[in-house]
Amino acid sequence: MPITESDLPGVGKKFEINLDDGEMVVVIHNTGKREVFRRPNPDADSEKVFEFSDDLARTIGSIIEGAHFQPVEPATQETTLPGGILLEWYELHPGSPLIGETLESADIGNRTGLAVVAIQRDDEVIDSPGAQTTLREGDTLIGVGTPENCEAFEEILTG
Amino acid sequence: MAEALLELGVMFAAIAGVGALANRLGQSVIPFYIVAGMVLGEFVLGRVALPVVGTTYIPESEFIAIGAELGIVFLLFFLGLEFNLDRLLARRRQIGTAGTIDLANFGAGFVLGWLVFGAFLPAFLIAGIVYISSSAVITKSLIDLGWIANDEAEPMLGTLVYEDLFIAVYLAVASAIALGGGDVGAAAVDVGIAIGFILGLLGLVQFGTPAFARLVDTTNREFIALRSIATVVLVAGGALALGVSEAVAAFFVGMAFASTDHTHEIETLLEPVRDTFAAVFFFWIGLVTDPLLFGGVAALIALAVIVTTPTKLITGFLAGRAFDLNARRSTRVALGMTTRGEFSLIIATIAVTAGEAGAFDPALAATINAFAVGYVLVMAILGTTLMQYSEPFESAVASWLDRSEPAGDGESSG
C-alpha cells in the first residue's frame, strides 16, 4: 500500500494512496478542510468524492480506524506519538519466554530499548511497574519506544 | 467622524456584495473588488450628480490608504509564512527549470516596456507586472476545479514559489530605484541599502527563530495574533521609514515565523485579517485609478495581453514538461499561469508611491498604474476563464502534438 505525500504550497498537503482499482487522493487544506478524490488510473482526472470539515473528518476517521467497533482483533495495537515514537501493547501468550520473569531479570529496557510503562492484568492496571514485578501469562504489556525498539521486543516476546 | 464611518460601511458592504457576485459567477474576487472601488470613487461616482444626494463618493481617505498598505504587508507576510525553502530545494531541479524558463516573461515585458517608454524604470516595472502570476487567483481556481489533486498542481505551485522568491528581491530593488528618482546610477546606494536590509532580514530568519518562537509561545490566541501583527507591521514600517520596501520586510518576517511551531496557528488566526485588508487594497487600487486613463493605455494593455499571454502559455507548457507531464496536463499549466493579479498591482503601487513622493513623474506613475489595473482586470478574468474552459485547448494541443510527434513521445501513460 504505497502512500505518496507531497506539499501543496499555500494550500496544504496531498496524500496519494494506491488502491486495487485506481488511486485515492486526500487533500488536507491548511484550513483543516479535507477533500477526498478518486481516479481510476494515474493518468485520469481526479474526481471529488467527499469534502469534510476538520471535525467531521476526525469522527469519520476514527470510525474507519475501528475505534468504535472492531470485528477482527488485530495482532498488535499501535499508536504513533508525535516524533514517530510508538505506543504499543502486547499480550503475553502461553509459551512466551517472558512469563515468570521479573522486569529486572527480563532486562527488557537494556535488551530492546522499549520502556514498559504499564501492565494490564485482568481488570487492574499496574502503572509504572517496579523492577520486581513478575510477568504472568495473560498480562498485557504497554510499551513506548521507537519502531526498532518494538521490533526487538517482539523477538524476545515470542522467543 | 460619522461620515467617515459611513463611507467605510459602504466600502465593506460593496466589497462583500461584489465578492458574493464573483463567487456565483465562478470568477476571482480581485477584479470585482477593483471595479467596486473604481465605481464608488471620485472618478466615476464623483463625476455624476445623483438625484437626491447630489455628488457623493468615497474619497481616498487616510484610513483606506493605510488599510491598503496593511493589505500589501499581510499578503507578503503570508507569502513568507507559507514559503518553504526545504520544499524548493527538495524539487530544485524541476522547480529551478520551470522557474528559470518562466523568467522569459520578465524579458518579454522589459522589451515591451522599453519599446513603449524608452526608459529603464518604466520598462523594469512593466517587466515585473507582466512577469508575476497570481498566487491567490490560481490557487483558488485549482481548488475550485479540483485540479489541486492532479499532477498539474505541482508545476503551477512550484513555479509560483520560484516567482515569490524572485519578486521579493525584485520589489526591494524596484522600490529603491523608483524612490531614488529612477536614475539607476544615483539609486545604486539605495539599492545597496535595500540589499543590506535583505541580508539583515535573512540573518534574522536564520538566527532569530528562537526569539520569534518565544514571542508567540503562549496558548492565548489573542496574544499570538497581536504579537505577530505587531512584529510584522513594526518591521514593515521601519523598513519603509528607511526607504526599503515594506512588502519585502513583511515577506521575511513571515519566513522567520514559518520556522516556529506556531505557523499553522498564526495562519488560521490572521487569515481573516489578511483577507479583510487585501480586499481594502484592491478596493483602494480601484479608488485611485481613473478609468478615463484606460483610453490612453488601451493600446498598451492590448499589446501586453497579445504579447504576454502567449509567452506565459509557452513557459507554462514547458514548466509542465519539466515536471514530466503529458501534453494535456502541460496545457492546463499553461492556461493557468496566464493569470495575473495581486502582485502586479503591488508593483504598480511602487510607481504610485514614488510619484506621490515626487521622485517619479506623477503622470507616468498614473499611466503605469492604469496599465497595471487594466491589464490585471483582463488577465485575472481571462486566466480564470481559460482554466474553466480548458477542455478544447487540451484536446487541440494533444492532437496537434500527436500529429507532429508520430513517435508518440507526446502522450506518455504511466
pLDDT digits (tens, 9 = 90+) for B297-319: 999 999 999 999 999 999 999 99
| pLDDT, tens digit, 9 for 90 and up, residues A96-118 | 888 888 888 888 888 888 999 99
All cell numbers assigned to B398: 494533444
Between residues B44 and B402, the one the model is more confident about = B44
pLDDT > 90 fraction of chain B, expressed in percent and rounded: 53
The answer to whether residues B76 and B12 belong to one domain is: no
Closest residue on chain B to A24 (Cα): B149
Between residues B36 and B55, the one the model is more confident about = B36
Closest residue on chain B to A31 (Cα): B268
- Picking from B402, B306, B360, B373, the residue whose alpha carbon sits closest to that of residue B122 is B360
Q: How confident is the model at residue A28 (pLDDT cuts 50, 70, 90)?
A: very high
Predicted structure pTM score: 0.79
List of chain B residues whose C-beta atoms are within 8 Å of the C-beta of residue A27? 148-149
Determine the Cα–Cα distance for residues B40 and B284; give it in Å rounded to an integer: 10
All cell numbers assigned to B330: 502541460
What is the mean pLDDT of the segment spanning B281-296?
91
Q: Is residue B412 scored above 50 in pLDDT? A: no
A43 touches chain B (CB under 8 A): yes
Between residues B236 and A10, the one the model is more confident about = B236
The answer to whether residues B31 and B149 belong to one domain is: no
Distance from CA of A18 to the nearest CA of B (A): 14
Does the domain made of A74-158 have the CATH classification 3.30.70.1450? yes
CB B126 within 8 A of CB B370: no
The answer to whether residues B205 and B332 belong to one domain is: yes
> Which CATH number belongs to the domain containing residue B104 in this structure?
1.20.1530.20
The answer to whether residues B14 and B87 belong to one domain is: no
Residue with cell 475550485: B144
Q: Is residue B331 scored above 60 in pLDDT? A: yes
**B 249-268 residues with CB below 8 A of A?**
264, 267-268
Q: Is residue A23 scored above 70 in pLDDT? A: yes
pLDDT given at position B411: 43
What is the enclosing helix (H) or strand (E) of A16? Answer: strand A12-19
Provide the Cα torsion A5, A6, A7, A11; round to 10°.
-80
What is the enclosing helix (H) or strand (E) of A56? Answer: helix A54-65
DSSP string, B175-189: HHHHHTTS-HHHHHH
Q: How confident is the model at residue B181 (pLDDT cuts 50, 70, 90)?
A: low
The interface predicted TM-score (ipTM) is 0.74
Question: Best of B144, B145, B150 to disrupt the A interface by mutation (most A CBs within 10 Å)?
Answer: B150
Q: Is residue B396 scored above 60 in pLDDT? A: yes
Closest residue on chain B to A5 (Cα): B149
Label residues A56-70 b or e (16+ Cβ within 10 Å = b): ebeeeeeeeeeeeee
Give the count of domains, chain B: 2
The answer to whether residues B335 and B300 belong to one domain is: yes
CB B229 within 8 A of CB B78: no
Closest residue on chain A to B412 (Cα): A43
pLDDT given at position A130: 86
CB B105 within 8 A of CB B337: no
Residue with cell 485547448: B393
List of chain A residues whose C-beta atoms are within 8 Å of the C-beta of residue B413? 43
CB B140 within 8 A of CB B28: yes
Query: By three-state DSSP, how is residue B216 classified?
Result: coil
- Picking from B297, B294, B172, B195, the residue whose alpha carbon sits closest to that of residue B245 is B172
Q: Which of B4-8, B300-304, B403-407 has the lowest mean pLDDT?
A: B403-407
The answer to whether residues B239 and B387 belong to one domain is: yes
The answer to whether residues B11 and B87 belong to one domain is: no
List of chain A residues whose C-beta atoms are within 8 Å of the C-beta of residue B149? 14, 25, 27, 35, 37, 39, 46, 48
Domain enclosing residue B34, as ranges: 2-55
Q: Is residue B406 scored above 70 in pLDDT? A: no
Q: Do the chains contact at A43 and B157, CB–CB below 8 Å?
A: no
Q: Which amino acid is at B2?
A: A
| pLDDT, tens digit, 9 for 90 and up, residues B66-91 | 999 999 999 999 988 887 777 778 78
The answer to whether residues B27 and B156 belong to one domain is: no
Determine the Cα–Cα distance for residues B239 and B250; give it in Å rounded to an integer: 9
Q: Do the chains contact at A9 and B267, CB–CB below 8 Å?
A: no
- Neighbouring residues of B61: CB distance < 8 A, sequence distance ≥ 6: B4, B7
- Picking from B365, B297, B339, the residue whose alpha carbon sits closest to that of residue B31 is B339
- The domain ranges of chain A are 3-65, 74-158
pLDDT given at position B250: 93
